[in-house]
Structure 1
């Protein structure tokens, strides 16, 4: 039997990191994956796929992934169910990821931040009284 899923998409919001009572890290996020076609009105459609990541990978995802970031996920599809507060059975389908790839660097996401080396090589106006020698 084979249960393998490979997805590339963008995060819809920052990952949510939690810990189980025994201290195991678990992160959840949703990946927006474009469909390979457009609707009749010419608009692109997407599927919003819930992803669950465990342990160290969960903490890494929570620390480095952000909303809108292009991400690759590899894992297995899992269907689980639980009974809600109203006593109805609720089914959840999600991807349990065992491999997550950050497909964009932080630099591409943080283009609005000021470059600390901007203007490098230009003359600097320093008063002689400010020099320690």
Structure 2
């Protein structure tokens, strides 16, 4: 069996990069994915008539060349697709409590659309499907 995950969503923070003592570059960011909220198998609609959304946050980690590309070209709000694997972690915090977590180790990140931009008057422009590189 293979551990494969594919997520598409919006980047929740500007990516942050660090370099290990051994020279490995690591870039982290959070990815928000959403799906319609359901109760008893039916989609829940809000007062405005639109489906309510449940949002989940994922920690994504990229290494070396991919880390550099993500750091250079990704920003908060950008739509991306992440392909990778789930990695589970376990540690003991400073108070001696055992903690658990998970993160996505990315093998690839596809740029789907730029985030919405605001002009000097504060007006929001539309997303574009074209990534200019």
TM-score in terms of structure 1 length: 0.75
> 1:112 Cα shift?
3.1
Aligned match of 2:31: 31
> 1:111 Cα shift?
6.4
Aligned match of 1:18: 18
> 1:109 Cα shift?
4.5
Tell me whether 1:104 sits opposite 2:113 in the alignment.
yes
Structure 1 segments of 4+ aligned residues over 6 angstroms from their partners: none
Tell me whether 1:60 sits opposite 2:59 in the alignment.
no
> Cα–Cα, structure 1 residues 110 and 41, in superposed 2: closer, same or farther, change >3 Å?
closer
Aligned match of 1:84: 93
Structure 2 segments unaligned to the other structure (5+ residues): 39-43, 47-51, 121-133
Q: CA RMSD in A?
A: 1.8
> 1:104 Cα shift?
1.4
Structure whose alpha-carbon radius of gyration is higher:
1
Structure 1 segments unaligned to the other structure (5+ residues): 114-133
SS of structure 2 residue aligned to 1:103: strand
Aligned residues: 110
Aligned match of 2:103: 94
More helix by share: 1
